[in-house]
Amino acid sequence: MDVECTALRRIRGLTLVELITTTAVISISLAIAIPSWSSITQRNQITTTANQLLTHLRYARSTAVLRSVHVSLCPSDDGETCSGDPLGWRDGYLVFEDQDGNEQRSADEPLLRIQGPSSPTLRMQSTAGRPAIRFRPDGAAWWFNTTFEICMGENASAYRAVILLGTGRSRVDRRGPRNRAVTCS
């Protein structure tokens, strides 16, 4: 009779050295990846906010021309009235038909768009002395240039400026007027 001898399989797990090495590699990888992920998130939020504002500026201008009316944008912290705060654009803003031309929304003026608040860590402000923007029926923005600065975090290369010319044309740029750095200060 033949008896078959089978060798016991050796059950093998991780040694302490292998476990510590694997944990160290994962920790170092995460230490490198997490800060860069945060930077990417901030950059995307700044870009999205700048593009939303640009879209609303272009919508307001085209509505003013198509309807042959005055259309205004103003910062708003309640979604109904203008706050008048040039530093308050991140709290939200309104696009409305400005029938009386005072850059303040009255209850009887049609509300065209509402932009809700942005992230609390985002900074968004307009040129001093420009708490509202008004487009004329010809599409001009009353011949005053306005710059909106949008910042978040400490990575200045991610900051953006939305520049509105008095002619009504607008654009997003990494630099402000006269090639000035965007600082949000």
Residues contacting 11, CB < 8 A, separation 6+: none
Q: Are 97 and 105 in contact (CB under 8 A)?
A: no
pLDDT digit string, tens, across residues 106-158: 999 999 999 999 999 999 999 887 889 999 999 999 767 899 999 998 888 89
Cα–Cα separations (whole angstroms), residue 97 to 37, 107, 144, 152: 41, 11, 19, 31
pLDDT of amino acid 32: 82
pLDDT of amino acid 129: 78
Q: Which two tokens stand for residue 68?
A: 């042959």
Q: Which two tokens stand for residue 83?
A: 């706050």
Give dist(CA 12, CA 8) in Å, integer: 12
pLDDT of amino acid 48: 95
> Does residue 7 fall inside a structural domain?
no
Q: What is the CATH number of the domain that holds 91?
A: 3.55.40.10
> Does residue 150 fall inside a structural domain?
yes
> Does residue 68 fall inside a structural domain?
yes
pLDDT of amino acid 11: 64
Confidence bin at 185 (pLDDT 50/70/90)? confident
> Does residue 32 fall inside a structural domain?
no
Give dist(CA 49, CA 141) in Å, integer: 21
> Does residue 85 fall inside a structural domain?
yes
Give dist(CA 114, CA 76) in Å, integer: 9
> Does residue 12 fall inside a structural domain?
no
Q: Distance of alpha carbon 65 from its chain centroid, rounded?
A: 27
Give dist(CA 95, CA 84) in Å, integer: 14
pLDDT digit string, tens, across residues 65-103: 999 999 999 999 999 999 989 889 999 999 999 999 898
pLDDT of amino acid 6: 57
pLDDT of amino acid 165: 94
User: Does the pLDDT of residue 61 top 70, yes or no?
Assistant: yes
Confidence bin at 38 (pLDDT 50/70/90)? confident
pLDDT of amino acid 80: 93
> Does residue 5 fall inside a structural domain?
no
Domain that holds residue 49: 41-179
Give dist(CA 112, CA 95) in Å, integer: 5
User: Does the pLDDT of residue 9 top 70, yes or no?
Assistant: no
User: Does the pLDDT of residue 27 top 70, yes or no?
Assistant: yes
| Tokens 């994962």 -> residue | 26
Confidence bin at 50 (pLDDT 50/70/90)? very high
Q: How does DSSP classify residue 145?
A: -
Domain count, the chain: 1
> Does residue 8 fall inside a structural domain?
no
pLDDT of amino acid 72: 95
